[in-house]
Chains A and B, each alone.
Chain A
Amino acid sequence: MVAYIVRRMLATIPVMAVVAVFVFFLLRLAPGDPAAIIAGEDATGEAIAAVRAKLGLDRPVLEQFGVWLYGLVQGDFGTSIFSNLPVGRLIAQRIEPTLALTVSTLLVAVCLAIPLGVLAAWRAGRWADRVVMVFVVMGFALPGFLVGYVLIYVFSIKLGWLPVQGYRPISEGFLPFAESLVLPSLTLGIAYMALIARITRASMLEVLSQDYIRTANSKGLETRRVLMLHALRNASVPIVTVIGIGVALLISGVVITETVFNIPGLGRLTVDAVLKRDYPIVQGLIIVFAGAKVLVNLLIDISYVFLDPRIRY
């Protein structure tokens, strides 16, 4: 197992190297010039050229890549073109809100979607199943920003129960922290819940048709034990896989959700940096997101060992 983990960790190095190369050169291929944006609306071509030279953007692309890569291997993501602040610091400032949002979404989604999926499978073809499936279809079909605006209108503007926007760190108290996350988590989680509930239902349906489930039922075991201990555990590998795949969904989802709810997380940082062509920030963020994705995949693979004793590495 340890050897497997070490092998997997080592395998991330070429993956990250490929990501680094791609993100750097794709950004340079994209149209846009940060110097022109920095210099501002009324800047002359001369002024823009001066900014470009000062930022080193007029140097050969390979030279720029070398400078960035040299810093990166030393753990230095570079400096923001606009704010002149270290990218590492900017990312660190934004990690907490994004982490809080993704973890709360994950918790809400898993805690609600798995029981819903189990319920739908258990009551397959009946009204409970249909209600869950309607929710699933809506969850997939409704765009996140629309859900967000509707939730804001109902719960913030009309009822005044929850804040429209912003993030309150947990250091300001749990209640404001939780309040600031309720609507964003629901918005971000709805598609995720739909995905997990759908897979849970499908996986459970397959398991519930197995002979050992019939045996368990005929032995007179109570339904809860049959569903949770016998069926759900054996159906869990595809569910956990989808939860892992869904992390990528969350990463892309935070970009929209953080914008709609004005949460100062990594998603907002990404959008702003892309629009401003703040290359070092975009590069740093993609590396962080890629690293997170690789790590989540590793954790999911390791979890298989505990969920299915037949799996060994």
Chain B
Amino acid sequence: MTGLLASTLRRMAVAVALAVAASTPSPVLAQEKVLRAVMHADVRTLDPFWTTQTIAGIHGMLVYDTLFGNDEDDRPKPQMVDTYELSPDRKTYTFKLRDGLKFHDGSPVTTKDVIASLRRWGAKDSAGQRLLSFTDTLEAIDDKSFRLALKEPYGMVLETLGKTGTSVPIIMREKEALTDPNTQITEAIGSGPFKFAKDQWVPGSKTVYLKNADYLPRPGNERPSAFAGSKIPKVDRIELVWISDPQTAMSALVSGEIDFYEQPSVDFLPILQGARGVKLMKGGKIDTLFGLIRLNHLHPPFNNIKARQAMYHLVNQEDFLRATIGDPNYYTVCHGMIVCGSALANDAGSAMMKDYNPKKALQLMKEAGYNGEPITVLFPTDHVSITPATQVLIQAMREAGLNVDAQSMDWGSVVSRRTKREPPAQGGWNIFLTTSGTVAGSNPVLHTWIGAACDKGLFGWPCDPEVERLRSAYGFAATDEEKKKAARDLQARAIEQVVYVPYGQWTVPLAFRADRLDGIVPSPGLAVLWNISKK
């Protein structure tokens, strides 16, 4: 028998040796600097306007350029724009593009491309729609200059053009920009710091970007600050490797197979903190995400304001944040709807949120006419942060004496089900939880979840004209003081109406190989992958 095994092993060894001899290794690309990064999601679509997925924005920012880029304090700074002027009546902006801007196919960037891109973006993005609704004319003066004339002195023009997060107003070629906004473009040819290597794209596995050697950064080597400053592509190639399993991604970073991990699972942070060569970095001055409990305003019991307000008394944010993040270094209790730590953060109306009191919650529910009917909570079982938060809410509701109908499903099903307006018994819902980016949540106009635009708003459909009026008022505020007042008024009204119930905010730090990478720029919004060099 030993002979039998030995003979089998001998044959296998010969086969392997023959195969080794027969195979010729491919030539190694000498000295090519490759940044291998694992992002929070895989690049599935080439059209940054077609979806509000954040990963589409990251792809867009690599391949395309933007007119403005917001800095770490969320102030818009010119990027493709060289100079701009605002008329004394604050109604007409004149922009001039920088010299020498070129698309990856070599064609020059002109105002035709800019105007077509802004129109396509403005047809899809809510902030863009708002901007275009205040726009009288958007026209080219010549190939380099264009004019944006407003009907009213809307004060959010530059912030909107520099917005990041989702639906970034990138500039594409006119050819693609004229595509119907609801039809996905099939080419990704921009003028950004990296070129998309379509032939190497394997959706669900790897997306490759090559250095745009012709990219013209802002002159003067401006200090990089979030999306502002000189963008310099410092590596030859970026590979966005999609590793869906967080444990594998963590192991790949520790072993050095990848250089950059955008959103490691919070469970692995202690391991990464102790790993040799690995460093963790917070995204910026404010947290990166906030959590919210959305109530369905269309159906009982939450079509009654008392029932909605009752939910504030069931939320002890510490409980949610401990379950979601765990480490207090990475979370912030925030009793407000404008993101805490941002320039507009305030405490208007927040007293109600600070009173954790299940008995009071039940009392208010009863006053709202609640009589033990089942409350349908959409319970995703596969979401890294929303699953534990939903479990905490369900437990808090049950302990308070509410009848919870927790419907378990995957996150994809929640995303689908939450669009349904029917009553819960007919396939609708009462409550779901979600998260949102703090960059948008810091600005009343860009903060879509604070809106209360009835049927035109987001799922849950809060309906309050006063909230919408206050959001617009912020857009027309001329001074910082006026902006702060508008933000306070908005928050107080939104809290009173319970457009949503916040359960805190947190940061998922990015992890990277500090022994290999230099020049990482913190950003609370999208990850910034230019200006990173590899040692």
Chain A residues at the B interface, C-beta cutoff of 8 Å: 31-33, 36-48, 50-51, 53-54, 80, 82-85, 90, 93-94, 111, 115, 118-119, 122, 149, 152-153, 156-157, 160, 163-166, 170-178, 223-224, 227-228, 259-262, 264, 268-269, 271-273, 275-277
Contact = CB atoms under 8 A, between A and B. Distances in A.
A90 to B, nearest CB: 7
Contacts of B94: none
Contacts, number: 177
B119 interface: no
A264 B202 contact: yes
Contact of A39 (B24, B51, B186): B51
A178 B22 CA distance: 14
B351 interface: no
Contact of B20 (A36, A174, A260, A277): A174
Given A119-B1, A227-B4, A83 B23 contact: no
Contacts of A51: 50, 182
A41 B436 contact: yes
Interface of B: 1, 3-5, 8, 12, 16, 19-20, 22-26, 42, 44-46, 50-54, 56, 124, 126, 166-167, 182-184, 186, 202-206, 241-245, 247-249, 251-252, 254-255, 257, 409-410, 412-413, 415-419, 421, 434, 436, 440, 448, 455-459
B413 A32 contact: yes
Contacts of B53: 38, 40-41
Given A44-B126, A171-B26, A33 B255 contact: no
Given A44-B457, A115-B8, A164-B248, A54 B413 contact: no
B255 A157 contact: yes
A251 to B, nearest CB: 18
Contacts of A166: 241, 252, 257
A153 B23 CA distance: 30
Contacts of A170: 23
13 contacts: A41-B166, A47-B124, A51-B182, A83-B45, A160-B255, A164-B257, A166-B241, A173-B23, A174-B19, A178-B16, A223-B1, A228-B4, A275-B410
B180 to A, nearest CB: 8
B243 A156 contact: no
Most-contacted residue by chain A among B56, B248, B418 (CB, 10 A): B248
| 3 nearest A-B pairs in the assembled complex, by CB-CB distance | A40-B52, A173-B25, A264-B205
A84 B186 contact: yes
Given A41-B52, A45-B419, A224-B3, 15 more contacts: A38-B51, A41-B166, A42-B448, A111-B12, A156-B255, A163-B255, A165-B257, A173-B23, A173-B26, A174-B22, A174-B25, A224-B1, A262-B248, A264-B206, A272-B42
B205 A268 contact: yes
A83 B26 contact: no
Nearest to A122: B1
A223 B20 CA distance: 34
B409 to A, nearest CB: 6
A78 to B, nearest CB: 15
B389 to A, nearest CB: 15
Contacts of B458: 42, 44
Contacts of B251: 152-153, 156-157, 164-165
B336 to A, nearest CB: 20
A275 B126 CA distance: 27
A229 to B, nearest CB: 11
Nearest to B43: A83
A224 B2 CA distance: 9
B1 A172 contact: no
Contact of A174 (B23, B50, B413): B23
A152 B186 contact: no
Contacts of A176: 25
A115 B5 CA distance: 7
Contacts of A47: 52, 124
Contact of A227 (B1, B24, B126, B436): B1
A46 B456 contact: yes
Nearest to A38: B51
Contact of B434 (A32, A41, A271, A275): A41
Nearest to A269: B204
A84 B415 contact: no
A84 B50 CA distance: 12
Most-contacted residue by chain A among B22, B204, B242 (CB, 10 A): B204
A185 to B, nearest CB: 13
Nearest to B42: A272
B52 A43 contact: yes
Given A31-B416, A39-B51, A166-B257, A82 B203 contact: yes
A83 B1 contact: no
Contacts of B247: 149, 260
A31 B52 contact: no
